[in-house]
Structure 1
Amino acid sequence: MAPENQQSTQPSPRDNAMMLGALGILAYAASMMTHEALGHGGYCLALGGHNVMLTGWADGCSVHPPGIEAAGPAVQFGAGLLVWLVLHRLSPGAARLRYFFWLYMVFNLLVSSGYVAFSGVTDFGDAAVIISGLHAHIVWRGVLILFGVVVYFLSMRATALEFKRFAGLDDGSRRLFRLVWIPYVTAGAFACCAGALNRTMGHGTAIGLAAASSFGGGLGMLWLPDMQRGMAVSAPAPSVYLSWSAAWAVAAAVVVVAFLFFIGPGLK
């Protein structure tokens, strides 16, 4: 009887909250650098220019080659699709790596597609620049909104399915919500703090872009636990919880320092 009593008093397994937040920061930072540095910056270099400015939410090129506005969202979205394929090749036991790649996929797909809809609504941003010279401008803004919303919803479906694969047999509401709201809030707070230090654009603009790309673009994350419940996956994996990792924590700390002191203020 004693062993049974002892077993009943053992605490249930739980994900380390600090690890969830650290991986959220890493995934968000990687996503924004994919958009700005690899997308806009890489396109700039490929067409003979050089980068004159880089922050987490803008990139400056010495020339203005056609198509550079589309390069950022396109590369970011493409990276999200690529990671979707990578996720299926990772071992179920590599919980932290799988969760990081899943978050990176979420931010890439949701932020890039949400940005298109945001550009249509506000007439600001990369997609808005692309349609700025087109006739029937209001119609094209409507196209951006419709296209962005549809792709955003499809992206939520794709990321919800992978969320189902990651969570495995654990369908507990509390755990699933922790897996999305902790990285969502942590990444958003991190982005706004870094944006507040920006020196390359207006103070309000920088914070607004940081908030829009994190709290705004990632908002769909909070609905993924409910969305995944009706989905079926073949051979669901056993639940693997995310424990503390000094290596991942150090990586997150390095990224925080880099953003707060260099990338957030702006590199020139």
Structure 2
Amino acid sequence: MCYAMLTECRAIRRNSWKGKIMATLLKGVQKGKGGSIRKSGSNMVYTERHRYIVLSDVKNESVLAVLSTPGLPQVMVSSISGTGGQCVCVGLDPKQDEGSPFTWFVDSEWSTESENQTTSSNPDPTTWVPRYSGKVETYPEVIYKDFSTPPKPYLNSAKDKFPEPLIVRRPVIVYDFFQYEAPTVTDVQIGDRNDTINSATFKGFGAQTLKLTVTGFERGFYFGYDCVRINYSVAYKKNKWLNTPLDMGYSYLTSTGERIATDKIVCLNSDGTKKSDNATPDTLEFKEFPEIAFSFLR
């Protein structure tokens, strides 16, 4: 039987298109296949294993040549029929038959794990709504009243400010995810999205409360489609992503516009005039991140 298979491979080589050398031939799929289902995080992952038989007309064929045999599945491109592109080839493992060096067995693994983040029946990954992981980070904020009911001003018994302000840690919710996008999205466009904030309400979050970071991207074929996988991180800050310095300084304006210098910091009104001693300082708002529409996020 092995001699007949080898003869077939050599015959195909001799009769190959325009005389090109075909050193390997896919004979078929070995009968029988295996599979499993398991839990991965909060998801169920289905895996299948198939074995392909490849013939070579030389004993010392290279592994790369075997993997390049026409008809073998392509890693991260081929998918099992009937799964809507959800069960994808994730690996090929060729082994040469010790008893017949012209014969190779190529084990393939197919899985629904990892790159597939959706339950959508659409096989095009650029339409999938990504899943995300979340975490909580914090940032410091100066407050002037505590959390009592009613709130108490942060002043000493002489109704004067403490030498050090009261600083609390405010939460920032960070969402990490990736999504597949059309290959027409350029590298420059991807870069321009980095360190930006939302210009309008997005998925229930108010304008300027989301900051987008691009953590990486990779181009290639995913699930049989040419696209780019982009990794994002979105941070939600309830008090908006604005630079809000205290309206304070070592000078102030009189009602006539004259600038008066002082040897201590004073709080200012919005017109630059001096507030009363121990008054709560106002804050000013400055945009340190450009605003864009987040419509490209799904």
TM-score (norm 2): 0.19
Give 1 or 2: higher helix fraction: 1
The structure with the largest strand share of the pair is 2
Task: Using structure 1 for the length normalisation, give the TM-score.
Answer: 0.20
Q: Which of these two proteins has the greater Rg computed from alpha carbons?
A: 2
